Structure 1
Amino acid sequence: MVGLIKRKLEASTLIEVLIAMVIIVIVFTIAMHVFANVMNTGVSSAKIKAENQIRLIAADVKNKGQIDEEVLILDSIGYELRVMPAVAAGLSQLEISAIQEGRKITMYRCWFVDKLNEEN
């Protein structure tokens, strides 16, 4: 028993532990910001899905020659369709925007023959 009492135990002080914890918290905070930036700026599956859906909507408008609805909601993504003023007789520009949770995901513009404004 006498040998145990005389032997000095080595351990970290409270200050060392607190400094280590502060460093770990700083590293995790930086990592969280980097991760959030990567998730916000990366190509998401919703963006790819929206781009594919926009192409299908544009092809449908080109075939019909007119817009049936100005706002579509498909799979929790809203699509706003706008027809820009005609630059030539019967030729109009279509702009389709995909919006999810109040944020614009992607946009697509194309020309189409506007059958409503087409001159015969």
Structure 2
Amino acid sequence: MLNNCLEQAVAERLILVNPARGCKLPKMEKREIKVLPEEKIRPYLMEADKRGLLAPFYLELTTGLRRGELLALLWTDLDVENRTISITKQVTRTKGELVVSQPKTHNSIRSCRSRSRRWT
């Protein structure tokens, strides 16, 4: 992004040369996905059920949705017949307020299928 801004400044003759041209970006560190061990799934879901939160926590485990995506779901996003959920929005915290908005990237808008055979 900085490179594009500096290129625009060169095009507008605000600067002579883009100082970022030719710079190499550092390699991005890949973060390892943390998966809940199989032996902890049952106790996890039992605790969620005790608190009346089984549905969202089960959905989280079976779909891989992010927290903000889960919080933004409406019944209209659910297609029981095709076993899919439409992800078109997310909940974020902005200045202490919860705000429903479109996901940051176009690729985040998608249909998600449950990996569970029991989902109906």
Which TM-score applies when normalising by structure 1? 0.26
Bigger relative CO (Cα 8 Å, ≥ 6 apart): 1
Q: Which has the higher strand share?
A: 1
Structure with the greater alpha carbon radius of gyration: 1
